[in-house]
């Protein structure tokens, strides 16, 4: 099947993304000399780019691929929060972000010199959300679930948005969610929900996989499926593509293109392909193709990509 045919099937499907919203910043410049204060380069700043990250980036990827997307999360009442919300609006997702008074928006700033990331600074509150903000988050999540989205995607970076109350609410509505996908640094708290899809990196399942090779991930099929309680486990391996296990189909290994990997687009492509009725090999191939697409090019992906050619592991 051609990518365009599959993409046509998922257009305007309603998707709810809930989780930790982040403002990603890229400070790019040219190293001019070494500092007298320490053995580090002095970088002349040339450009600053601020984009949606975390759950906000995942929501943007869904919208870029043609879904009708709602994002539920939290920002602080600071400049970073205002910038992040503007990026969500620019991306076209429905904004149900909660503004928590006194909370600092989670921000990740990367310094890039000569094409290389030389430092990253993380800022913002990651303590569990409490008080009125936590109550408002639950209310907005409940409202969004009542609209019966075709898929719910959880983005859990451990930044305090998704506490026990959120998991309890999702568990109580689980039968009303046709497709639940979880992208989390720690999948254990989500196992009792029985996700339809989880998308861990190799680092996050290191305690389950005995080794760091593709072969080790392939050999760990049973342990990965049992430990996550998921129907499908897609372990992303950066330059080595991804290994996708399931209870009902053969394991699939997809190869990555020699381009930067767009993790948000990988998750969105996999979920949307499943909503479109793709078999597991096609869904895995779709996700890998989407991972090679820049955010700004996602709306044009259907025209750029041809047939899907997944390969078994």
**pLDDT tens digit sequence for 208-227:** 898 888 999 999 999 999 99
Distance CA 111, CA 117 (A): 6
d(CA 46, CA 253): 40
pLDDT of residue 149: 97
What integer pLDDT is reported at residue 301 of this predicted model?
67
CB 52 within 8 A of CB 88: yes
**Contact of 262 with 290, CB cutoff 8 Å:** yes
**First vs last C-alpha separation in the chain:** 20
Tokens of 213: 């090779």
Give residue limits of the domains in the chain: 3-23+51-106+124-304
Question: 55: closest CA among 128, 146, 158, 125?
Answer: 158
Q: So what CATH class is 3-23+51-106+124-304?
A: alpha beta
Distance CA 15, CA 222 (A): 29
Using CA atoms of 272, 166, 74, 107 in order, give the dihedral in degrees to the nearest 10: -80
Q: What is the pLDDT of residue 240?
A: 87
pLDDT at 260: 59
What confidence score (pLDDT) does residue 165 get? 96
Contact (Cβ atoms closer than 8 angstroms) between residue 122 and residue 107:
yes
Distance (Å) of CA 197 to CA 124, 152, 181, 234 = 29, 10, 5, 7
Distance of CA 147 to the CA centre of its chain: 22
* Residue ranges of the chain whose pLDDT lies below 70: 1, 258-260, 301-313
Supply the pTM of this predicted model: 0.91
Whether residue 190 contacts residue 156, with contact meaning beta carbons closer than 8 Å, is answered with: yes
């Amino acid at each position: 099947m051609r990518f365009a045919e599959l993409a046509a099937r998922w257009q305007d499907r309603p998707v709810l993304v809930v989780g930790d919203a982040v403002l990603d910043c890229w400070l790019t410049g040219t190293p001019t000399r070494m500092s007298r204060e320490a053995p580090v380069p002095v970088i002349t700043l040339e450009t600053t780019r601020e984009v949606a990250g975390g759950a906000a980036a995942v929501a943007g990827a869904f919208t870029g691929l043609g879904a009708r997307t709602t994002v539920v999360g939290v920002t602080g009442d600071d400049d970073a929060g205002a910038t992040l919300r503007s990026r969500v609006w620019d991306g076209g997702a429905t904004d149900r972000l909660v503004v928590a008074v006194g909370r600092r928006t989670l921000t990740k700033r990367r310094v890039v010199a000569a094409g290389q990331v030389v430092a990253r600074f993380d800022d913002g509150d990651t303590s569990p959300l409490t008080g009125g903000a936590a109550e408002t988050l639950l209310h907005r999540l409940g409202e969004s679930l009542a609209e019966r989205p075709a898929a719910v995607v959880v983005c859990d970076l451990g930044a305090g948005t998704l506490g026990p109350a959120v998991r309890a609410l999702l568990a109580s509505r689980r039968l009303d969610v046709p497709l639940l996908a979880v992208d989390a640094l720690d999948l254990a708290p989500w196992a009792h929900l029985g996700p339809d899809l989880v998308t861990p990196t190799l680092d996050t399942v290191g305690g389950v996989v005995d080794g760091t090779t593709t072969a080790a991930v392939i050999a760990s099929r049973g342990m990965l499926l049992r430990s996550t309680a998921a129907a499908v486990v897609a372990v992303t391996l950066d330059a080595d593509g991804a290994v996708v296990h399931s209870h009902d189909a053969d394991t699939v290994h997809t190869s990555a293109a020699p381009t930067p990997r767009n993790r948000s687009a990988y998750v969105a492509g996999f979920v949307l392909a499943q909503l479109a009725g793709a078999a597991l090999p096609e869904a895995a191939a779709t996700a890998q193709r989407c991972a090679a697409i820049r955010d700004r090019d996602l709306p044009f992906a259907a025209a750029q990509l041809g047939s899907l050619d997944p390969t078994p592991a």
